[in-house]
Amino acid sequence: MPQRAENDLIGRKGGARDDRRTPASSGRLIVFVIVATLISHRFWALQGAERRTQTVQFAKNVAIIAGFLFAFVTGGGRLSLDYWRRRVE
């Protein structure tokens, strides 16, 4: 494998580990938000307007989880700090 291609594949200094920071962080945040959502927004145990409010908050947290899941699956990409730091090194 040519040297340039090998550097692009495994990165410099930090190796392939640098590319895993965004998915690892977003994976941890997914777990945190799931736990926090299930503890804080128990809409199924409420009635009336309070239930509606908690349902909206629950749905908001599900959307946040979807965003973290997107970052987990796609990685950081060109706009991530991992990418820019890797370019500078």
Instruction: Return the percentage of the chain with pLDDT > 70, whole number.
Output: 76
pLDDT for 66 beyond 90:
yes
As a 3-state breakdown, the chain gives helix, strand, coil percent values, each rounded to 5, of 80, 0, 20
Q: Are 33 and 69 in contact (CB under 8 A)?
A: no
Please check whether residue 10 is in contact with residue 49, taking contact to mean a CB–CB distance below 8 angstroms. Answer: no
> pTM of the predicted model, to two decimals?
0.68
What is the DSSP secondary-structure string of 56-86? HHHHHHHHHHHHHHHHHHH-S-TTSHHHHHH
What confidence tens digit (pLDDT) does each residue in 10-49 have? Answer: 444 544 555 678 888 999 999 999 999 999 999 999 999 9
pLDDT band at 56 (very low <50, low <70, confident <90, very high): very high
Residue 70 has pLDDT above 50, yes or no: yes
